[in-house]
Chains A and B, each alone.
Chain A
Amino acid sequence: MKQPSSSRAGPAGARRRNGRGESVGFNANPLLTVALPSWRSKLMLFLLFCAFVALAGRAFYLMGGVSTDFLQRQGEARYARTLEIPATRGRITDRNGVVLASSVPAKAIWAIPDDVEASNEQVAQLARLLGMNAGEVKRRLANDDRSFVYLRRQVDADVAARIADLKIPGVHSSREFKRHYPEGPTSAHIIGFTNVEDRGQEGVELAHEKQLAGRSGSRRVIKDRLGRIVEDDWLREPFDGRDLALSIDNRVQYIAHSALKAAIEKFRAKAGAAVVIDARSGELLALANLPTYDPNARGKLAGDAIRNRVLTDTFEPGSTMKPFSIVAALEAGKVRPDTKIQTAPGKLTIGDRTIGDAHPHGLLTVEEVVSKSSNVGTAKIALDLPAQTLWDTYTAAGFGQAPQLGFPGAVAGRLRPAKSWRPIEQATISYGHGVSVSLMQIARAYTAFARDGDMPPLTLLRQDAPPAGVRVMSHETAMAMRRMLEMAVGPEGTAPGARIPGYRVAGKTGTARKLRNGQYVREYVASFVGFAPVSDPRIVVAVMVDEPTGQYYGGLIAAPVFAQITAATLRTLQVAPDGPMEETKSPLLAMREAR
C-alpha cells in the first residue's frame, strides 16, 4: 500500500517541501498526490468483512446444525448405496419332499436400441444364446422408437453370463427369478403357475400366494473404492417365502395321469379327470386333468387346458348318486338291504313322464338295486321318502356345496331346494339326473363309505395328524353300503372291469348324458367312483371321462381306469392285499410254496 519513495526524502516530507520550489523527486510529484477520502477504504474493509460474515454464516448453516442433511446426503451418495434384496419364492414339494416347483435366479436381457453397436457376427451369437431367430433380434434392436426393449426374460444365469461375455454395448441384464416345474404337465393343474414377476396365477401358486411370496428387503451399504461392501445397515430384512408341502404323492399323481391319458387316447375322449384321496386322512394324493399343459412353457397356454376339471366342471353324476338315495332310505328305516323291490317291467311312469332301466330286472333286493344300478328301483325307494330327507342326506354328503379345499375356482354344483322338487324330479335326482356335481364332490362323498360313515375335511396340504370326520351316516349303513358297492364290481354287477387282482374293491359306475342348452344330447360323461381295499379302505378313487367315442358306459370306460390307478397306487403305498390273486403266481412264490 505504501507509495514507493525517493531515497532522499520520505513521501510526507516530499509533499511539504514542494511549496518551497526545491527540486522534487519523480515520485513526489504533487500531481500524483490524490486526496482519497478516508471513508472509501473503510467501506471496502466493511464490505470485505460482510463477505466473510456471509461465508461464515453459510458454513455455519451447512455444517453447524441448521441444514446439515444436504451435504451429508451428497457425501453419502458417493459411497453409500441402497440395495433391494429380493425374497425367494417358497418351494412347493409333494408329501415326500420331491420338489414340484422351485424358483432360481435368472436374468432378464434387455437393450437400449440407440446404444447398441454390434456386428452381424455378435448379433448372431446373441440370438443363438437367447434361442431366438437372428432376424427377430435385429428387428428388436432396430426399433428406434423405444428407448428400452426386453430381448428375453427369465434367461438362465449361465446363459446370461455368456451373453455378458459378448460385451455388446447397450445390451444389459437385470436380476429376476424363474420358476421351474420339474414334473411338467403331470401335476400342472394342482400347482398352477406364476407370471414373469413370480406372482401366482393359478392353482396352489395362487391359493397360497401369501405364504409362498415372502417380502423383499432393502439394505443400506457403504462401498469402498473397489466396490466392496464394508458396512451395512438393514432398513428392512427380507423374508423368503415359506415352503409348502402338498398332500400329493408324485408317484400316485403319475399313475393317475398316465392311466387317464391312456384311456383318453383309447376312447378318443374330449377330456378326463381323476382324483385319488387318502381315505384315512382326507388328503388328496393325486388330482389329474387332461388335456393338460406344460407350466414351464407358458407361451402356449390355452384356456381349455388350464381348467381344473376335477374342481370347476360339474356334470350330472348319474348312477354314482344312487347310493346316497339308498342311504337316506336305510337311515330312515324305510328299507333294509334285503328288502325286495319290484322293478318289473323296467319302466315307471310318474305323471306324464316315464323313466326306465337299461335292462329290465324284475324283483330285486335293495342290495341288487345298487349293484345292478336300477333306476326304477332307486326311484321307487326314493319316492317313499319325504323330499327333505333326501335333500338332507345329499347335503350332508357335500352335494350343492363347494368343497373347502382352499383352492381357487372350486364349484358347488347344483342341488335345488327340496321344496321345489316335483315327484318326477325327486325320482330323477335319486339316480343322479337333474343335479350336478364336480368330481371332487363325488369323490369326497364316497369317503363316508370308505370310512366309518364319517367324512373328513379334504386337504391339499400334508397333514401330520388325521383330522376328525363329520358323521353323515351310521356305522351299519356305511358297512351295508360298502357290501353293496363291492357287489357292484362283482361278476353280477355293472362294473366287473374295476376289479383288481389281490385286493377287494368297491365302487359305482355312472353314465350320464350331457345337457346342452337345456336339452339332453347324445354325448356322455362316463364316471366311476370307488375305494379299496374293502376290508380296510385306504384310498378313494374317482375317474371321469368326458365324451368318449364308441363306448360310453362308465363300467366299460372309467372302471378300467379306476382299476389301473387303484392297483398301482395300493402297490406304491404298500398296502397289504386282502383279496385273491387271480393272476399266475410268480416263480419265486411257487418255489417258496414247493418247499
Chain B
Amino acid sequence: MIRRGLVLLLALALFLSALALVTAQHRSRSLFIDVERAHQQARQLDIDYDRLKIELARLSQPAYVEAEARRLGMKPVDGGRTVFLNLPAASAAAPLAPGATK
C-alpha cells in the first residue's frame, strides 16, 4: 500500500516537473525575445550615433564654418587683433620668448 502511494506521489511529481520544464522553457524564450529586441534597439542606436557623428563632422568642418562665418560678416583672427596674456613668471613653467608680452 505504501509502495503504491509512493509510486503515485512520484508520478505526480514527475508530471509537475514536466509541466514546470515546459513553463520554464517558454519563459526563457520570451525573455530571450525581449533581450533580442533590446539588442536590436542598441544596434539601431549605435547606427544612429554613427550617423549623427558623421553629420556633426560634416557641419563642424572648418570649410563649412568659415563659409558660414563669412556669410555673417565675420573676419578671421590675426595676430594684430589678438590679446596675449602672460602667465605670472612664477607659475610659467616654460620660459616665454621675448615679444610675447606684446
Q: Which A residues fall within an 8 A CB radius of B?
A: 91, 98-100, 102-105, 157, 180, 182-184, 186, 224, 228-232, 250-251, 254-255, 258, 500-503, 533, 535-536, 567-568, 571, 576-586, 588-589, 592
Contacts and interface: CB of A to CB of B under 8 A. Distances in A.
Chain B interface extent, by class: 20 to 34
Contacts of A582: 80
A583 B96 CA distance: 21
Interface string B51-71: 101111110111100100000
Main secondary structure of the interface of B (DSSP, over half): helix
Given A104-B47, A183-B61, A576-B84, 7 more contacts: A228-B36, A501-B78, A502-B80, A578-B98, A578-B100, A583-B78, A586-B80
The residue among A91, A567, A571, A577 with the most chain B CB atoms within 10 A of its own CB is A577
Nearest to B43: A105
Interface string B75-95: 011111111100000000010
B36 A229 contact: yes
Contact of A533 (B54, B60, B81, B97): B97
A105 B47 contact: yes
Contacts of B76: 568
8 contacts: A98-B57, A99-B54, A103-B50, A186-B61, A578-B99, A583-B78, A584-B80, A588-B81
B94 to A, nearest CB: 8
Given A502-B79, A583-B80, A589-B83, A578 B50 contact: no
A577 B102 contact: yes
Nearest to A252: B62
Contacts of A184: 61
A250 B62 contact: yes
B33 A230 contact: yes
A254 B61 contact: yes
A320 B62 CA distance: 31
A586 B32 CA distance: 67
B40 to A, nearest CB: 9
Nearest to A230: B29
Contacts of B54: 99, 102, 104, 180, 182
A267 to B, nearest CB: 22
Given A104-B50, A230-B32, A580 B102 contact: yes
A182 B50 CA distance: 12
Contacts of A584: 80
Given A99-B57, A105-B47, A254-B63, A567 B78 contact: yes
A182 B58 contact: yes
Given A105-B47, A180-B54, A592-B83, A580 B99 contact: yes
Nearest to B51: A104
Contacts of A104: 47, 50-51, 54
Contacts of B100: 576-578
A567 B79 contact: yes
Nearest to A576: B100
B62 A254 contact: yes
The residue among B58, B76, B79, B96 with the most chain A CB atoms within 10 A of its own CB is B79
Contact of A224 (B29, B62, B81, B83): B29
A182 B97 contact: no
The residue among A232, A255, A535 with the most chain B CB atoms within 10 A of its own CB is A535
B98 to A, nearest CB: 7
Nearest to A221: B36
A581 B96 contact: no
A583 B97 CA distance: 19
Nearest to A586: B81
Nearest to B26: A230
A586 B63 contact: no
B80 to A, nearest CB: 3
Contacts of B79: 500-503, 567, 571, 577, 581, 583
Nearest to B102: A581
B92 to A, nearest CB: 10
B73 to A, nearest CB: 17
The residue among B47, B53, B62, B94 with the most chain A CB atoms within 10 A of its own CB is B62
Contacts of A581: 79-80, 102
Contact of A183 (B33, B50, B57, B94): B57
Contacts of B94: 536
Contacts of B102: 502, 577, 580-581
Contacts of A502: 79-80, 82, 99, 102
Contacts of A501: 78-80
A579 B96 CA distance: 11
Contacts of B97: 533, 535-536, 576-578
A104 B48 CA distance: 9
Nearest to A500: B79
Nearest to A534: B97
Given A98-B60, A186-B63, A533-B97, A577 B84 contact: yes
Given A231-B29, A571-B79, A579 B99 contact: yes
Contact of B83 (A229, A232, A588): A588
Interface string B1-20: 00000000000000000000
Contact of B57 (A100, A229, A585): A100
Nearest to A94: B57
B60 A585 contact: no
A578 B36 CA distance: 61
A581 B61 CA distance: 30
Chain A to chain B: the 4 pairs with minimum beta-carbon distance, closest first: A578-B97, A583-B80, A502-B79, A182-B57
A228 B81 CA distance: 65
Contacts of A583: 78-80
Contacts of B82: 502, 571, 586
Contacts of A576: 84, 96-97, 100
B96 to A, nearest CB: 6
A294 to B, nearest CB: 13
A138 to B, nearest CB: 32
Contact of B32 (A231, A250, A578): A231
Nearest to A502: B79
B95 to A, nearest CB: 9
The residue among B33, B47, B80 with the most chain A CB atoms within 10 A of its own CB is B80
